[in-house]
Copies of this chain bind each other. A is one copy, B any other.
């Protein structure tokens, strides 16, 4: 139902975006945009760090053949896969955001970039939440059984991996709000520049 927007590559913002606007306004807009993009970059960096840590904690949660391994449990495999996918996605998005902060240009055409970011942020936030919830329920049942009494280090490391995954979800959730806001800005003005 949205009216189609023309494809356009990200361009450097004009020093005089509105001829009638006074100079201090355009400077303020550029400053605001830079601060906004830096905030997105920071959130993506945090989401990357936490999801990478979560997947590494889960991957290394195995202590020989006489101890349980994360590979034996579907929910733990789900946590590893979800966090690894989000870590790779976040790393690419960190690179794209850093490029945008430095060069003031998007890598893909602008319309594609804002919708791509928002759509993927939303879906991956669902994925991380789903994996974290499933693994929490599994750990709860392991604690009710003898597993966690016999192998407390295994359960502790699982807990840490899950908690890190939830923190990753939290930062990705905040990023979703900001990338959603960028979509709104784009739909309103035909450009992500005008805040």
Residues of B within 8 A of A188 (CB): 187-188
Q: Is A184 an interface residue, CB under 8 A from the partner?
A: yes
The verdict on A174 contacting chain B, using a C-beta distance below 8 Å, is no
This chain's copy number in the assembly: 2
Q: How large is the interface on A (under 10, 10 to 19, 20 to 34, 35 or more residues)?
A: 20 to 34
Please measure, in the bound complex, the distance between the C-alpha atom of A137 and the C-alpha atom of B135, giving whole angstroms.
7
Q: Choose the segment among A50-58, A61-69, A126-134 that binds chain B (4+ C-beta atoms closer than 8 Å).
A: A126-134
Q: Do B138 and A136 have beta carbons less than 8 Å apart?
A: no
A141 to B137, CA, bound (A): 10
Cα separation A188 to B194 with both chains bound (whole Å): 13
A contact set with B: CB distance below 8 Å: 1-2, 32, 36, 74-75, 126, 129-138, 140-141, 180-181, 183-184, 187-188, 195
Q: Known contacts A129-B130, A136-B137, A141-B141; can you find 14 more A-B pairs with CB under 8 A?
A: A1-B32, A1-B36, A1-B195, A2-B181, A126-B126, A130-B133, A133-B133, A133-B137, A134-B134, A137-B137, A138-B140, A180-B180, A184-B184, A188-B188
